[in-house]
Amino acid sequence: MKYISFTKNETKVILFIVVVITAGFSIRYYKHLINDETNTPYDYSGSDAEFKRLSGGINKNKSGANDSLSGSELDLMNELKKEEDSTDTGSKEKGSTGIYEKIININTATRNELIDLPGIGESTADKIISYRENKKGFRKTEEIMNVSGIGKKKYEKIKSYIKAE
């Protein structure tokens, strides 16, 4: 060690690193030996059974009918589906496709409506409202690009969801 010229602390750190690396390789080698000896792949039957139990054992045949549900259960499921469909107001919220269903007027939109537009956050919505108040509204939708933080790319994302009236 005298010829290498490491300080006492450097020698301790190097020794510690060597010990940790050696221990890591030893543990990995030991685990590899154990796995080779047992040679049993993971058995998924327990998790499959749990999934079936939690999902209620609903199985569909090729025609799309549920085999394991009684008539009243099917009626209840259909009724719940109809309720979900009827509660969809067609508002500007994202649908299952992730596309907004309503076009908003940027001259009258609330802060929350603006925030719901793709790529528009709280500060940008505040800037849009401020610009709208200072300029007495937008004449064209393209005018929204004059707002700080909205460039051509962001405008392309939101142009199909906005109008200026």
pLDDT in tens, 20-74: 999 999 999 888 887 765 555 667 777 878 888 777 655 554 445 545 555 666 6
Mean pLDDT for all residues in the chain: 77
Residue 110 pLDDT > 70: yes
Instruction: Select, from the ranges 2-11, 17-26, 107-116, 133-142, the one with the highest average predicted confidence (pLDDT).
Output: 17-26
26 burial class (0-12, 13-18, 19+ CB within 10 angstroms)?
exposed
Residue 54: predicted pLDDT: 78
Average pLDDT over residues 148-155: 89
- pTM, entire model: 0.41
In tens, the pLDDT along 59-101 reads 554 445 545 555 666 666 666 666 655 554 444 444 333 455 6
Q: What is the pLDDT of residue 94?
A: 43
